[in-house]
Chain A
């Protein structure tokens, strides 16, 4: 059960096109018939095991779990396919509203029952990308433009910052290189870390990475949601703060959300200061300045400066106030990841290039190095894609190089050149070298 599903109960919005204009099964037929990049997905999830090298594991792709959610809410788990064309056929005969990708299991998920007869429980996940799921609905207490499943250009930058913070740590700290970021189709992003080392991590190791990213300890019953202890920030947090969070908080976030501009807003922040004297000192100041002629943003900025100065001068008062400014910034801007998804190998995550049934938008990859430019509202929708086909536009045979011009072509091209090609190169090298050591070993053991 991912949170993406929770959104399905939200009422459709007024003023927007009717859902069936964005998304319906006929559109989906055309999309899966002409546009969905089967070969690329198959290549990706084969990780170089394409049968061409003697060291390949030809059953690798076949042990991957897929699950389909169909039109009438029927949910098919543990599907698996031997080949790319078997996957294509299944998708074309079911037209799933949603395709999820699960783990690679020890045995073919489709046949797990046959194996379970043997008594020993051999059906276990053996490989899985390290995945992250970040969702804007978890930011409802810090955005004032939208709530729930809605997202606009004012709150989307929260996602952008999240991508930057996490991506930088995955590469700089953990040394991962093959990372795919994907728009979830509506209100969040998914991240797939595909390095061999990441795929082979145990649940314990996954939890460790997930916990490394945890800062936000708050829950509904505690106002101080981020508690930073110690005399300094850990280097990872320090970098995130200096390089991304602080600037974003004081710049873009203030401009779009004016988080101090009204009493209702600033009371939430005052609650995070664990000192009643300071709270009331600031409250008094701000109540008196309520009638100022400044813009909301300007008021908000002034109050933030006042808060910082006050805390600075009272720093010595209590150790709990030492990191209060940072705590506030982290509370508003630090990525809120659904960590449970990352911790278990057998969690499912929506496949890239699916279409979100509520928005009709395609789950396209996001370039982490240019994520500022990504606009969720400009992502192609099913109806736009269909229109493009009908108007005789590119047949989207994305295999030729001029596919750039088409709506989806650009995304597929990015997927290939920035993600798939370097990944497959690495995988091939790995298969080659492990094959060589295997040969060498077997020679050794024959020698005596």
Chain B
């Protein structure tokens, strides 16, 4: 591609070795027309955005396969395979430019491209999959013969622990250093012995995805360097404006800054907590008022949410101090807790990327003993959840609808239904973020009371 040039000297040509799913090792060497540069990128962004939505809605891997399949067909597919492949590669490299420019952007792009790759890989047949493993040059040997026999019983145990009744194991296993398949380790989906994980043929995707992610992550750093040192300046009349526009127009809403509605001060906080907080935050808020303490996970979840809601730093400090000092005394508060609150506001320490947690993040958190953070729809027992919903004023009909979603593990939908029941309006976008919940709720409440709140 004329504008970007080759990223890496590896002579692998994606087009030849694997016609369907490129690994994006090298940038294409053809020329790209300016309109295509932008158009392809927009199409790919629609796909990535769709992936992001699917994940935020908590779709399971199977459903995500379907989502990706549809998205790809709608936005990227072309009857001519080579045209589609070009579009695939060009759009990917353009978006690398767009998303290499800040850590936040990089992170988003990296997770979405990785997810996209994961599901496209899953949709391929075993032959193609093996081909991709070879292309990454993964040095793993298949476990066979006596070694496999010796492990059969334990491998069978793993299979059964994952919910399969019969202890039938895969025909092919690979022996892989455990640190290369972190997701399989974390969920105990593999047998681990003396530092090696035994990865079933059907779990290949995990291996490949790790490689893909690592490769892309490095490439983005290089792209960033190129962008800042040469491209940005050289292309300032042509590509730079396009690149800059692309990133802002399509990233999901950013709740790290408070929106127009928000400007919450200390004296309103109890009021809005009651009227506009989603259940997760209301629970934390009430617990804090009751116990005058929250453990780390709770402080982060609620603290960042309040920041997004528009509570200013001074008010935030006052708010937390008022509660914590009842329990730990003000000296300890200043010493141990104030720091991290300032930190959340980017006032202390170097990092400023503390954005309020999304539902996805909250739902996948794992509160432990003494913790109150997490998503009540996911982490409460049925009884506790019912009681909490009762306090939100849900009718028994509404309650059953919500519980039904919970049982099917659609936590955000459950939250959306709660929202709809509480405010009596529909929420088509669905709840993806506690701060979104808050803002939508404020919109509704403000439209109902044209005068200042009493």
A201-209, A253-261, A405-413: which one contacts chain B?
A201-209
**B158 in complex: contacting residue of A73, A204, A234, CB < 8 Å:** A234
Chain A residues 143-181 with CB under 8 Å of chain B are 172-176
Say yes or no: is A235 at the interface (Cβ < 8 Å to chain B): yes
Chain A residues near B196: list those with CB within 8 A.
175
Smallest CB separation, A223 vs chain B (Å): 6
Contact assessment for A138 and B369 in the assembled complex, using a CB-CB cutoff below 8 Å: yes
How far, in Å, is B280 (CB) from chain A's closest CB? 12
B292-325 at interface with A (beta carbon < 8 Å): 296-297
Which residue of B158, B329, B374 is within 8 Å of A235 (Cβ)? B158
- State A232–B159 Cα separation when bound (angstroms): 8
Given known pairs A1-B340, A9-B327, A205-B179, the reply for A236 and B192 (CB within 8 Å) is yes
Interfacial chain B residues near A221, Cβ < 8 Å? 372, 376, 379-381, 384
Taking CB atoms, residues of chain B closer than 8 Å to A208 are 178-179, 182-183, 185-186
Across the interface, which residues of A come within 8 angstroms of B328, CB to CB?
A: 9
Rounded to whole angstroms, the CA-CA distance of A116 and B194 in the bound complex is: 41
Interface residue A218 (Cβ < 8 Å from any Cβ of B)? yes
Any B CB within 8 A of the CB of A370: no
Chain A min CB distance to B221 (Å): 11
Residue of A nearest to B189 (CB): A234
**Which of A123, A207, A221, A336 has the most chain B CB atoms closer than 10 A to its own CB?**
A221
A214: chain B residues within 8 A (beta carbon): 366
Please, what's the 1-or-0 string for A175-214, where 1 marks a CB less than 8 Å from any CB in chain B? 1100000000000000000000100010011011101101
In-complex Cβ contact of B366 among A8, A212, A217 (8 A):
A217
A17, CB-defined interface residue at 8 Å: no
* Interface bin, chain A: 35 or more
- Chain A residue nearest to B196 (CB atoms) is A175
Q: Which of B124-132, B237-245, B330-338 contacts A (4 or more CB under 8 A)?
A: B330-338
Chain A residue, CB-CB nearest to B351: A121
A173 touches B192 (CB 8 A): yes
Residues of chain B from 361 to 376 with CB closer than 8 A to chain A in the complex: 366-372, 374, 376
Pair A75/B369 contact, Cβ less than 8 Å: no
A172 touches B193 (CB 8 A): yes
The distance in angstroms between the C-alpha atoms of A197 and B194, with both chains bound, is 13
Q: Indicate whether B191 reaches chain A with its CB closer than 8 angstroms.
A: yes
Chain B residues, Cβ within 8 Å of A340: 296-297
A141 within 8 A of B: yes
Interface residue B446 (Cβ < 8 Å from any Cβ of A): no
Contacting A175 at CB < 8 Å: which of B160, B195, B374? B195
Question: Is A224's beta carbon under 8 Å from chain B?
Answer: yes
For A209, what are the chain B residues with a Cβ–Cβ distance below 8 Å? 185
Least Cβ–Cβ distance between B172 and chain A, in angstroms: 20
Q: In the docked arrangement, what's the CA distance between A435 and B296, Å?
A: 43
**Partner among A141, A173, A222, A230 whose Cβ is within 8 Å of the Cβ of B381:** A222
Evaluate contact between B372 and A220: CB separation under 8 angstroms: yes
- Expressed in whole angstroms, the Cα–Cα distance for A406 and B158 within the complex equals 49
Given contacts A219-B379, A223-B381, A336-B369, contact A232 B157 (CB under 8 A): yes
User: Provided the pairs A9-B327, A172-B193 are in contact, do residues A205 and B182 lie with their beta carbons within 8 angstroms?
Assistant: yes
**Contact, CB under 8 Å: B369 / A219:** yes
CB distance from A358 to the nearest CB of B (A): 15
Check if B157 sits within 8 Å of A73, measured CB to CB. Answer: no
Contacting B192 at CB < 8 Å: which of A9, A116, A174, A224? A174
Q: Return B282 CB to nearest CB of chain A, in Å.
A: 13
In the complex, whether A25 has a CB less than 8 A from a CB of chain B is: no
Stretch at the interface among B19-27, B114-122, B162-170, B267-275: B162-170
| B257 in contact (CB, < 8 A) | no
Interface string of A67-90 (1 = CB under 8 A from B): 000000101000000000000000
Q: Which of A216-261 contact B (CB under 8 A)?
A: 216-225, 229-238
Residues of A within 8 A of B376 (CB): 221
Q: Is the CB of A232 within 8 A of B161?
A: yes
B328 and chain A: residue at smallest CB distance: A9
Docked Cα-Cα span, A236 to B297, in Å, equals: 28
Query: When chains A and B are docked, how far (Å) is the Cα of A237 from the Cα of B164?
Result: 17
Q: Is A325 engaged at the interface, CB distance under 8 Å to the other chain?
A: no
A234, B157: Cβ atoms closer than 8 Å: yes
Q: Answer whether A116 and B350 are a contact pair too, CB < 8 Å, given A230-B160, A231-B164.
A: yes
Q: Is the CB of A230 within 8 A of B163?
A: yes
A9-B328, A233-B157 given as contacts; is B186 within 8 A of A207 (CB)?
A: yes
A210 to B179, CA, bound (A): 12
Q: Are B336 and A339 in contact (CB under 8 A)?
A: no
Please report the C-alpha to C-alpha distance between residue A73 and residue B333 in the assembled complex, in whole angstroms.
Answer: 11
Interchain nearest-CB distance for A145 vs B (Å): 18
Q: Are B154 and A219 in contact (CB-based, < 8 A)? A: no
A287 at the binding interface (Cβ < 8 Å): no
Among the listed A121, A219, A336, which residue makes an inter-chain contact with B372, where contact means beta carbons less than 8 Å apart? A219
**A5 in contact (CB, < 8 A):** yes
A174 and B336: CB pair below 8 A? no
- Between B162, B178, B182, B328, the greatest number of chain A beta carbons within 10 A of the residue's beta carbon is seen for B182
Are A220 and B329 touching (Cβ within 8 A)? no
Tell me the minimal C-beta distance from B39 to chain A in angstroms. 34
Contacts of B168-182 to chain A: CB distance below 8 A = 178-179, 182
Least distance between B337 CB and chain A CB atoms (Å): 7
Q: How far is the CA of A9 from the CA of B335 in the complex (A)?
A: 14
User: Is B215 located at the chain interface by the 8 A CB criterion?
Assistant: no
Judge whether B187 is part of the interface by a CB distance below 8 angstroms: yes
Q: Which of A75, A141, A205 contacts B335 (CB 8 A)?
A: A75
- Interface assignment of B347: CB less than 8 Å from any CB of chain A: no
* Docked-complex contact A336 and B368, CB < 8 angstroms: yes
Find out whether the CB atom of B192 lies under 8 angstroms from the CB atom of A5.
Answer: no
Indicate if the CB atoms of B337 and A235 lie closer than 8 Å. Answer: no
| B188 CB within 8 Å of chain A | yes
Can you list 12 A-B pairs with a CB-CB distance of less than 8 A? Answer: A1-B336, A9-B328, A75-B335, A123-B350, A201-B179, A205-B182, A207-B186, A208-B178, A218-B369, A219-B379, A235-B158, A236-B188
Given contacts A225-B369, A235-B191, 10 further A-B contacts (CB under 8 A): A5-B336, A207-B182, A208-B186, A217-B368, A218-B368, A221-B380, A234-B158, A235-B154, A237-B161, A339-B366
- For the complex of A and B, the 10 pairs showing the least CB-CB separation, nearest first, are A175-B195, A208-B182, A232-B160, A211-B186, A175-B194, A222-B381, A208-B186, A208-B185, A230-B161, A219-B367
